[in-house]
Structure 1
Amino acid sequence: MDFLSSLLDANAAFALNGRDTTNHCPMALHALHEMGATPAQLQHFFAHWQSTHSLPAGTENQGDEEERRFVQLRQQLAIRFAEEGWLPTFEALLSQRLSPAGGAFHPLIRFACALENGHQGEQAAALAAWQCKPLILPAGTGAPCRDVTRLLARLSAQWEGSSWQGEWITARLRQVAADPRWPDSLPRSLEEGTEVLLQLAEAALPLYWQTRNFTLLHLVTGSRAAAIVARHLPAELQEPWQTLMWQAAAAAYITVGAPALGSQRWPDVSGLDWEKVLPLAIASLDDHVIKLVHCCWREQARSPRHGAHYLAVAARAVGLLNTDAGRSAA
């Protein structure tokens, strides 16, 4: 853990806008560490990222208001967290209705990693990045909905096949938020007592398996991150946090055309196991592969009923399954 911590400390030298280096790199380092990467493997990934993706903080971002704000916020939050912890700041951001989808879910996932590894500087950096990539989704005005499955079905009926411009996930999310149809199509609430975060995770995985959509990959890893954050929140913040998350998931789902979830044809994974998958993920220099495999590996232990499905997604990500194996059944 000391070596991981030193690399997370070193990440502070990277610019926020260096192709999202300050969000991607620490998340991948955390995932690699948990999956059993050696210090040499962690250093190899860090060096690769530094040479191929990063921008040094302050050199190529002079005059960038967002970059200056990020650095200032990170420093201010680090001092504040040392005195009072992260929860008061997080509660204030919830009251502002900052969406967990802001920054394409990256600040959320980074924050969840920081909660797991206990790195206070990373906690401050993640919440600073969240504020620098703010997204506020208008609240729904439609009729209440019973659960996540029905929510997605309702959205699919209204938005399936919709197309949104822009290369970046966040840009498409902003278009959904600005669409005048959005408030009426989103329910005011989900039924009380609904296990929202568990349902989101269980819906995100087959949607990603069916579509292989990059945005939905982030919904898989983001759903797990949201559950990690929820485990650290007091009872009075659970409902506001879950509401922001299912609204974020709804918006992300619409940005990819709200595809109807078909019945899945999951492959036989009896010849596969995590001992084969994890070393390939650790050897990968693709941060999205690393994070996805780590998420699936951790979630299969929490959701044995879907363990084979998580293994299939992870095995496909590292190339152990045929790339066409996950198409929907007719």
Structure 2
Amino acid sequence: MTLSDTLDRARTDSVEFPTMLANHAPMVLVALKRMGASEARRAAWYEGYRASHALPAPPPPVAPLTRATWTEALGDRSRETDARAFFRAEVARMGVDACLRLYLPRLAPGMAGSALHPLMRLAYALIDGDAPAVGDALGYWVCTYLAVPRAAGGPVTSDPVEVLAGVAALPGVRDYRVEIDLLWKNIEAVSALPGFADLAGQMQPCPQAARRMARAALALYAGTMDFSALHAVTGLHWLRLLRPHVDDPEALYPQFWAVIAALVPKIGFPDLPCAETLARLRALQAPDWPEIFATACASEDEHDISLTYSAAQEEAVWGDPLYRVVAARRVGLLPC
């Protein structure tokens, strides 16, 4: 079975599986190919993932969406099929770039939906140059849309670490409850707390935001090796791939960082490692990328594969050897 055959099968599945968990299969198949996994390995990984998670088919269509009505489906998982069909048609009509320039500004405030995984699906569709998959990703974004509020008018900062640190002082932040322990449910609950919107609104767009957030996200993950913090590293990789397709890419970063700030309680209110600790971690003798890739490709864990591929891509941009260290630690080649 070729990658195209396997991807074609993977893209017939729903974007989530019970209960409201992100289906990583199409994205992981692309990452596996990019890291050198054979066609047989990619097909076997998909079959194992599909069986272990009982991936369902998309829900039945409800009613067609149009350019005048598509926002009716925002946050409505029952409209997955309708939203995917609408955006596949829009991508075919307009082309990928024009479609993203038109719709992403409206969708960006809801990127927290399904814990950033519509962003992931969109990024990997762009990596693979797959226009129909771009439509599927936008449909996924619509039907799981989750807005994280950001209020203007208060103090401002260009330091993402200040926003993370401020979460610990929010009223009720240590006592909130969720009915089901999903990342996006935690984001939803924390972002609704008094004062969160004001705190999230402090982060302002700036040309240095991408680099500063990348540095902060990597330190957060290196210091905790936490599952939630992993999404800060991978999410910035995905966000970076959208930059050429929006007129104001800097505006995306405060929206993204508000989502990460809402995960601080889930991570455990960590202090970021000091400079000396980060220097010690960077000095660890991590294996080279080919060995890390091979180990990740042998894993059944989608997050081993996702983190490894994103870390390699981010190191290529930012030049920080700590990306290789955290990837090696994630797949068990270095102790945590």
Unaligned runs of 5+ in 1: 324-330
The counterpart of 2:197, out of the listed 183, 191, 208, is: 183
Q: Assess if the C-alpha contact under 8 Å between 1:209 and 1:313 holds in 2.
A: yes
Partner residue in 1 for 2:54 = 54
Specify whether residues 252 and 99 from structure 1 end up closer, same or farther in structure 2 by C-alpha distance, changes over 3 A only: farther
Aligned length: 315
Specify whether residues 76 and 286 from structure 1 end up closer, same or farther in structure 2 by C-alpha distance, changes over 3 A only: same
The counterpart of 1:83, out of the listed 77, 87, 93, is: 93
- Percent identity over paired residues: 29
1:206 CA drift (Å): 1.5
In structure 2, distance between residues paired with 1:123 and 1:310? 28
TM-score normalized by the length of structure 1: 0.85
In structure 2, distance between residues paired with 1:57 and 1:146? 43
1:109 CA drift (Å): 1.0
In structure 2, distance between residues paired with 1:158 and 1:261? 19
In structure 2, distance between residues paired with 1:262 and 1:158? 22
In structure 1, distance between residues paired with 2:282 and 2:12? 44
Partner residue in 2 for 1:295 = 310
Please give the residue correspondences for 1:232-251 in structure 2 after superposition, counting only pairs within 5 Å. 232-234=245-247, 237-251=248-262
Specify whether residues 196 and 38 from structure 1 end up closer, same or farther in structure 2 by C-alpha distance, changes over 3 A only: same
Q: Assess if the C-alpha contact under 8 Å between 2:86 and 2:139 holds in 1.
A: no
Letter in 2 for 1:152: L
1:228 CA drift (Å): 1.1
In structure 1, distance between residues paired with 2:121 and 2:169? 33
Specify whether residues 269 and 49 from structure 1 end up closer, same or farther in structure 2 by C-alpha distance, changes over 3 A only: same
SS of 2:271 mapped into structure 1: coil
- Say whether residues 1:38 and 2:38 are aligned partners: yes
Q: Assess if the C-alpha contact under 8 Å between 2:11 and 2:26 holds in 1.
A: no
Specify whether residues 169 and 13 from structure 1 end up closer, same or farther in structure 2 by C-alpha distance, changes over 3 A only: same
Q: Deviations over 1:164-197 (max 9, x none)?
A: 433101111111221122123333442x534212
TM-score normalized by the length of structure 2: 0.84
Q: Which deviates further from its counterpart, 127-136 or 178-187?
A: 178-187
Specify whether residues 233 and 154 from structure 1 end up closer, same or farther in structure 2 by C-alpha distance, changes over 3 A only: same
Partner residue in 2 for 1:150 = 162
In structure 2, distance between residues paired with 1:318 and 1:230? 29
Unaligned runs of 5+ in 2: 63-72
SS of 1:103 mapped into structure 2: helix
Letter in 2 for 1:258: F
Letter in 2 for 1:231: P
Please give the residue correspondences for 1:1-330 in structure 2 after superposition, counting only pairs within 5 Å. 3-19=2-18, 23-57=23-57, 66=76, 68-90=78-100, 91-95=102-106, 97-141=108-152, 142-156=154-168, 162-166=174-178, 167-190=181-204, 193-234=206-247, 237-263=248-274, 264=277, 265-266=280-281, 268-270=283-285, 272-304=287-319, 306-307=320-321, 309-323=322-336
SS of 1:321 mapped into structure 2: coil
Superposed CA RMSD in Å reads 2.7
In structure 2, distance between residues paired with 1:250 and 1:115? 26
